[in-house]
Amino acid sequence: MDIFDNIVGKVKSDLSYRAGSEISSGVEKTVKGGIGKAKGEQPKKIDKCPKCNKPLPEPDLKFCPECGAKLVATCEKCTKDFPFGTKFCTQCGSPLK
């Protein structure tokens, strides 16, 4: 029975891996064409301030260190922050300004 158990174990492992790959692939497709994207593109991490055009020292800042311009979109309904360029809140669906 040890050989049979090994084969069953390998088949289970293979099926588990394939199922995980399919789920990952589905999630990746959803993310690429998903919520808050303009024309199927992901919101870009900005490297320059849109107001003063100065380079940003870090890509995930909320405000520009030079001019203080806001670099994130905040949902007015649930106050969650999103990357610059996101169109809709993923928590409540409200449009972001």
The model's pLDDT over 34-85, given as tens digits with 9 standing for 90+, comes to: 444 444 555 567 788 989 999 999 878 889 999 999 988 899 999 998 888 8
Mean pLDDT of 20-29: 55
Q: Where are the alpha helices (DSSP H) in 33-80?
A: none
User: What ranges do the domains of the chain cover?
Assistant: 1-32, 36-97
Predicted local confidence at residue 39, as pLDDT: 47
Q: Is the dihedral of CA 43, 29, 80, 61 positive or negative?
A: negative
The torsion angles phi and psi of 63, rounded to 5 degrees, stand at -140, 150
Predicted local confidence at residue 37, as pLDDT: 45
pLDDT at 9 > cutoff 60: yes
Of the candidates 62, 78, 41, 73, the residue with the CA atom closest to the CA atom of residue 91: 78
pLDDT range class, residue 8, cuts 50, 70, 90:
confident
